[in-house]
């Protein structure tokens, strides 16, 4: 598996560029269609907040996509940021987990 070198696109950018601009939607009109506040939508499209499972369901209904599309996009973005912009995780030491003996039940 090869590592992605560039930061993945935030789902908010996809909403803003591929849907709002292409369909000439305003923040007000899209927020109303999604049943959310303008502020909530604004924080997502300005990449200050991520797509939650509830938002993924709303977006999938509005744009005839799947919730998984939005959640996978958010997951990929979040993991890339965690790996490349945060370093504390590198200090974690592996925990030894012994292999179960032959015939022993696993928990």
Chain segment 48-67, per-residue pLDDT in tens: 999 999 999 999 999 999 99
Average pLDDT, the chain: 93
DSSP secondary structure code for residue 66 in this structure = -
> Would you state the pLDDT for residue 103?
74
CATH superfamily to which 11-71 belongs: lambda repressor-like DNA-binding domains (1.10.260.40)
Neighbours of 70 (CB within 10 A): 24
> Would you state the pLDDT for residue 31?
98
By the 8 A CB rule, do 70 and 11 touch?
A: yes
User: Does an H or E element contain 81, and which?
Assistant: helix 67-85
Chain segment 68-91, per-residue pLDDT in tens: 999 999 999 999 999 998 889 899
Q: What are the residue ranges spanned by the domains of the chain? A: 11-71
> Would you state the pLDDT for residue 55?
98
């Amino acid at each position: 598996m090869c590592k992605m070198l560039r930061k993945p696109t935030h789902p908010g950018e996809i909403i803003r560029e591929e849907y709002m601009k292409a369909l000439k939607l305003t923040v007000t009109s899209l927020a109303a269609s999604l049943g959310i506040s303008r502020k909530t939508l604004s924080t997502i499209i300005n990449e200050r907040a991520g797509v939650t499972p509830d938002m993924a369901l709303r977006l999938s209904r509005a744009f005839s996509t799947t919730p998984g599309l939005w959640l996978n996009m958010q997951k990929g973005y979040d993991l890339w940021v965690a790996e490349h912009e945060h370093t504390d995780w590198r200090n974690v030491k592996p925990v030894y987990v012994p292999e179960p003996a032959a015939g022993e039940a696993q928990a």
